[in-house]
């Protein structure tokens, strides 16, 4: 008997316990409440109107997970919760954690998706967009984007590019960051009409109105505008679509680029066997549950799409958080 193997299986099996503790803490906005000098269990209970016994058990569990500390009955945020789980902090990740919470019920039907090969997350794909759910999703994407945008800026050496198309750009997180780092750049955020309403609000708040503009449409059906771009940035979009659809999207990117332009794909890139990294393989299942043909893809697959489109000098740049860039040059 190998106790390490048994422990490993146990940790996988009860990992949802840990996730649920984090989900509830974020839902209660507990870390914002405790920020600063900390709070006693009685104070937390009174403020949140929760049960005293249950709250103490819950807070102690958060201590065991390294998200709170406990000294003389006072609970305080740790460095990680203080940096990323206090609302309105610049690197706040609560919206993204809430998004994972929202996926809970969908993932409970994974077995059905594996048996049928069909998505189980949405009963009616043509149903009218729920604005509240959409805003929650876009905020979640902003949480991770704001963390990664700085690294992407450094790796791309953006100062040589002046015209950017941020394809499927959400609320404009990357476009705004890129323009902040390169004031000579003008950016266009392209996304679905319902998303662009949110994008416009975020651009206005950022003070980048004029330098960052929007265009609404469907990336499979609509053109990207008459302007030619130096760079087309596609972040976490291609995993939604089937390979032939991605080939079509990249052809439209080619047509939208100037002679010396580049396309930059940011994705969770799988190895050639499609077995690593762990998050990428699990994210493929998330696409199985939530899309009609989406998946995480390998670097080889994306390189082949780019080559078939005509892109040259294709290279990969590794990023943190299981992401990577695949870059293709028009000439």
Catalytically active residues are 239
Residue linked to tokens 């960052």: 212
> Which string of DSSP letters, residue by residue, matches 23-80?
HHHHHTTHHHHHTTT-EEHHHHHHHHT--HHHHHHHHHHHHHTTSEEEETTEEEE-HH
Residue 284 tokens, joined = 């493929």
Question: Which one, of 229, 232, 187, 185, lies nearest residue 328 by Cα?
Answer: 232
Phi-psi region of 157 (alpha: psi -120 to 50; beta: other; left: phi over 0): left
Helix-strand-coil split of the chain, %, nearest 5:
50, 20, 30
The residues near 218 (Cβ < 8 Å, ≥ 6 apart) are: 192
Q: Find residue 163's DSSP bridge partners.
A: 186
CB atoms within 10 A of CB 30: 27
CB atoms within 10 A of CB 142: 21
Residue linked to tokens 């409440």: 33
Residue linked to tokens 């860039």: 325
Q: How far apart are CA 326 and CA 252, in angstroms?
A: 17
How many angstroms separate the Cα of 276 from the Cα of each of 131, 174, 270, 320? 35, 26, 6, 14
Q: How far apart are CA 87 and CA 73, in angstroms?
A: 24
Q: How far apart are CA 4 and CA 153, in angstroms?
A: 41
């Amino acid at each position: 008997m190998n106790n390490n193997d048994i422990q490993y299986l146990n940790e996988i099996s009860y990992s949802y316990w840990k996730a649920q503790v984090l989900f509830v803490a974020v839902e209660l906005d507990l870390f914002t409440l405790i920020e600063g000098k900390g709070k006693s269990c009685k104070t937390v209970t009174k403020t949140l109107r929760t049960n005293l016994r249950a709250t103490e058990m819950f807070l102690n569990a958060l201590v065991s997970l390294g998200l709170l500390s406990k000294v003389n009955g006072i609970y305080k945020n740790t460095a990680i919760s203080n940096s990323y789980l206090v609302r309105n902090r610049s690197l706040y990740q609560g919206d993204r954690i809430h998004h994972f919470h929202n996926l809970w019920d969908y993932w409970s039907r994974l077995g059905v998706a594996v048996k049928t090969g069909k998505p189980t997350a949405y009963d009616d794909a043509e149903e009218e967009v729920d604005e509240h759910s959409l805003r929650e999703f876009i905020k979640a994407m902003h949480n991770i984007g704001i963390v990664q945008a700085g690294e992407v800026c450094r790796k791309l050496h953006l100062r040589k590019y002046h015209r950017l198309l941020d394809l499927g750009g959400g609320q404009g997180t990357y476009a705004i960051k890129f323009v902040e780092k390169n004031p000579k750049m003008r950016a266009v955020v392209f996304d679905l009409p319902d998303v662009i309403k949110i994008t416009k609000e975020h651009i206005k708040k950022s003070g980048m109105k004029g330098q960052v503009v929007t265009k609404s449409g469907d990336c499979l059906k609509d053109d990207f505008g008459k302007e030619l771009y130096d760079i087309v940035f596609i972040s976490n979009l291609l995993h939604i679509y089937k390979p032939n659809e991605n080939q079509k999207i990249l052809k439209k990117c080619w047509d939208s680029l100037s002679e010396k332009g580049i396309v930059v794909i940011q994705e969770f890139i799988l190895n050639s066997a499609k077995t690593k990294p762990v998050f990428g393989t699990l994210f493929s299942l998330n696409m199985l549950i939530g899309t009609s043909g989406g998946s995480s893809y390998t670097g080889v697959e994306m390189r082949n799409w780019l080559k078939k489109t005509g892109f040259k000098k294709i290279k990969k740049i590794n990023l943190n958080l299981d992401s990577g860039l695949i870059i293709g040059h028009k000439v």
